């Protein structure tokens, strides 16, 4: 069976065209996007029939080119559209494209987009977040939005006024998109060292197991060969055959089970399967929460796209989490430092509202703790400015068998007044069907 064709998505097409229109050098931007696409093809070339979970853009430092690659992939070349990255980026681009006529009318929006397109912009997600928040206000009847030009003194991102002109000073809006902390980056590097250590063993033994592991100490304190040694022990043990093989030691605990290769083979008998989250779930024997996983597989690649598996020979899926108290504490960082920064930035504003966006943690315990701490920080914070409201936006990218990318947004508004300024503060306009409205997205199963 062939890979599905590209889809016609007028909103993403409109957003992509607009970014080219406002760019300082459209030809150079096109070359940068093509370089990102070429890089992705090379890092995901599994024509040798051996797959392993990788960060496909590791080492590629042009972040906005990576983001726009997903738009091009969606429209013209599915080979360069990454399942997870598309879920993280395309919902924001689609919102811009859906209101492209409106964004053209917002003074300063083109300049803000032009800045985020520069190669030197290390975190263009912040600029995209600002544009989407500005569109949320611009869509509200009776409000006018304009971006504040860059000045020597730090100011808010944009301001809003009512049509009637009764508030000439307007309300200043500041947006912050949280980035991964240095601790999170270091922890990810340690995790990769531990996980990648098993790749050669799985390929050598053609090992097909499902591993569920919980690390109970900080990853920096776990030997790099920790999982390798356990899998080597399990592979040599007859205890694996009758049922799951559990272990527990000073570093963590886990269960090793035989992978369900038959479920994978049934799925690809008349179809194709991307080496990703669905394959991991099938190997694990059913539903899994959306959390970190690592895949190592061998088989025959699809001739049209080597990211897809046509025949599987062996496959190992590792689902993992770190629940060490120090890790949970560090990853559940709250927003107090951002609040202090915002407070200084809007000191001269007559009134101000802040929006803080962040990605959801992949394990429920950390996500809940982070939300709890954020709300505590908001309620205890004493602003020196006229900051009247802070809205926290939690973004959870999702991918399912029937939806190639989507984003669930959970919002916690904290206002000094009786109610939030916007009755519906979500900037992405809604939530996925089937989710319970009063529960955060990370506590709900993905609607399949």
> What mean pLDDT comes out for the span 178-203?
91
Residue 165 has pLDDT above 70, yes or no: no
**What is the pLDDT, as a whole number, of residue 437?**
62
pLDDT band with cut points at 50, 70 and 90 for residue 401: low
Parallel, antiparallel or unpaired: strands 308-322 and 209-215: parallel
**What is the pLDDT, as a whole number, of residue 430?**
57
**What is the pLDDT, as a whole number, of residue 1?**
46
Angstrom distance (rounded) from CA 14 to CA 30: 16
**What is the pLDDT, as a whole number, of residue 269?**
87
Percent of the chain surpassing pLDDT 70: 92
pLDDT digits (tens, 9 = 90+) for 8-21: 789 999 999 999 99
Residue 135 has pLDDT above 50, yes or no: yes
> What mean pLDDT comes out for the span 1-5?
53
All residues at 6 or more sequence positions from 149 whose CB lies less than 8 Å from its CB, including other chains = 108, 111
Helices (H) and strands (E) in the chain, counts: 15, 13
Give the tokens for residue 47: 């024509």
Angstrom distance (rounded) from CA 355 to CA 370: 16
**What is the pLDDT, as a whole number, of residue 402?**
60
Q: Locate the domains of the chain by residue range.
A: 10-116, 124-181+333-443, 183-326
Minimum mean pLDDT range among 134-143, 351-360, 362-371? 362-371
**What is the pLDDT, as a whole number, of residue 433?**
54
All residues at 6 or more sequence positions from 243 whose CB lies less than 8 Å from its CB, including other chains = 257
Q: Which residue has the tokens 């559940």?
A: 332
E strands along 344-386, which residues?
352-359
Angstrom distance (rounded) from CA 355 to CA 173: 8
* DSSP H or E stretch at residue 442: none
Greater confidence (66 vs 5) lies with 66
Angstrom distance (rounded) from CA 92 to CA 24: 22
CB count, 10 Å around CB of 24? 10
Residue 260 has pLDDT above 80, yes or no: yes
Angstrom distance (rounded) from CA 316 to CA 405: 25
pLDDT digits (tens, 9 = 90+) for 223-244: 999 999 999 988 887 555 567 8
**What is the pLDDT, as a whole number, of residue 195?**
96
Angstrom distance (rounded) from CA 320 to CA 363: 9
> What mean pLDDT comes out for the span 409-426?
90
pLDDT band with cut points at 50, 70 and 90 for residue 336: confident
Q: Do 280 and 297 contact (CB within 8 A), yes or no?
A: no
Parallel, antiparallel or unpaired: strands 158-162 and 143-147: antiparallel
pLDDT band with cut points at 50, 70 and 90 for residue 447: low
């Amino acid at each position: 069976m062939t890979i599905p064709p590209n889809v016609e998505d007028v909103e993403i097409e409109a957003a992509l065209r607009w970014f080219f229109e406002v760019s300082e050098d459209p030809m150079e931007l096109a070359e940068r996007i093509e370089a990102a696409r070429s890089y992705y093809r090379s890092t995901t070339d599994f024509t040798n029939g051996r797959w392993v979970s990788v960060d496909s853009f590791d080492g590629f430092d042009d972040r906005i080119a990576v983001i726009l690659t997903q738009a091009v992939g969606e429209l013209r070349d599915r080979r360069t559209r990454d399942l997870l990255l598309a879920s993280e980026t395309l919902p924001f681009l689609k919102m811009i494209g859906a209101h492209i006529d409106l964004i053209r009318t917002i003074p300063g929006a083109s300049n803000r987009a032009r800045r985020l397109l520069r190669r030197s912009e290390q975190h263009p997600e912040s600029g995209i977040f600002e544009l989407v928040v500005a569109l949320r206000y611009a869509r509200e009847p009776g409000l006018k939005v304009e971006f504040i030009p860059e000045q020597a003194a730090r100011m808010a991102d944009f301001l809003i006024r009512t049509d009637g002109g009764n508030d000439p000073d307007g309300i200043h809006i500041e947006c912050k998109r949280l980035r991964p902390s240095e601790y999170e980056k270091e922890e990810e590097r340690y995790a990769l060292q531990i996980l990648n250590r098993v790749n050669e063993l799985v390929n050598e033994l053609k090992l097909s197991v499902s591993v569920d592991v919980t690390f109970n100490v900080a990853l920096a304190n776990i030997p790099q060969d920790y999982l390798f040694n356990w899998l080597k022990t399990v592979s040599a043990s007859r205890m694996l055959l009758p049922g799951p093989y559990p272990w527990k030691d000073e570093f963590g605990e886990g269960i090793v089970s035989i992978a369900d290769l038959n479920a994978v083979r049934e799925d690809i008998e008349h179809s194709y399967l991307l080496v990703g989250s669905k394959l991991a779930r099938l190997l694990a024997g059913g539903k899994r929460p959306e959390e970190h996983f690592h895949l190592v597989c061998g088989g025959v690649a699809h001739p049209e796209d080597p990211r897809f598996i046509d025949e599987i020979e062996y496959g190992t899926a590792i689902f993992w989490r770190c629940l060490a108290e120090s890790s949970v504490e560090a990853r559940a960082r709250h927003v107090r430092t951002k609040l202090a920064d915002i407070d200084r930035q809007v000191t001269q504003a007559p009134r101000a509202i802040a929006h803080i966006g962040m990605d959801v943690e992949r394990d429920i315990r950390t996500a809940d703790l982070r939300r709890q701490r954020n709300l505590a920080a908001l309620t205890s914070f004493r602003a020196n400015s006229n900051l009247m409201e802070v809205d926290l936006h939690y973004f959870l990218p999702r991918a399912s068998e029937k939806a190639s990318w989507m984003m669930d947004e959970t919002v916690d508004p904290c206002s000094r007044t009786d109610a939030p300024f916007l009755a519906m503060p979500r900037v992405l306009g809604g939530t996925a069907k089937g989710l319970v409205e009063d529960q955060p997205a990370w506590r709900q199963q993905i609607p399949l």
